[in-house]
Amino acid sequence: MLIGRVKGTVVSTNKVNKLTGSKLLIVQPVDIETFEEKGEYVICIDDVGAGDGDIVMCAYGSSARQTDTSKKYASDYSIYGIVDYITIKEKQTYDKAKDDYGTAQKEKESCN
């Protein structure tokens, strides 16, 4: 399983038929304790309606094709959950209600 933050979308008009109608999102893996970005971006099939900035759970490899809807897709990555909060060793490392990622991004963009 991979935990990551949705960073953007991919639009592809021409693709294999099995991907028609699927939503493709760009996900940046994060460290689940510090939430620092790590590794390379991955492209995921969105199975749950995630949006920009959401922290998501992703399955990869053959596990990405194990849900009722994802088994029809030719993909190695699938988003199958949007994270509400994470607690490790009795310490909450993430809480969606307190996540100011979207606000910080908008402020950063307005400065440019």
| Per-residue pLDDT at 78 exceeds 80 | yes
pTM over 0.75: yes
> For the domain 2-111, what is the CATH code?
2.40.50.220
| Per-residue pLDDT at 107 exceeds 90 | no
What pLDDT score was predicted for residue 25? Answer: 96
Contact 48, 41 (CB under 8 A): no
Please state the domain extents for the chain: 2-111
Average pLDDT over residues 62-72: 67
What pLDDT score was predicted for residue 47? Answer: 83
> What are 33-50's pLDDT values in tens digits?
988 999 999 999 998 999
Contact 67, 80 (CB under 8 A): yes
Tell me the residue ranges of DSSP E strands in 1-112: 2-10, 24-29, 42-46, 55-60, 77-82, 85-88, 91-95
What pLDDT score was predicted for residue 70? Answer: 62
Parallel, antiparallel, or unpaired for β 2-10 and 42-46? unpaired
Position with higher pLDDT, 104 vs 16: 16
What pLDDT score was predicted for residue 108? Answer: 47
Contact 60, 76 (CB under 8 A): yes
Average pLDDT over residues 24-29: 96
Position with higher pLDDT, 71 vs 1: 1
| Distance separating alpha carbons of residues 30 and 9, to the nearest angstrom | 18
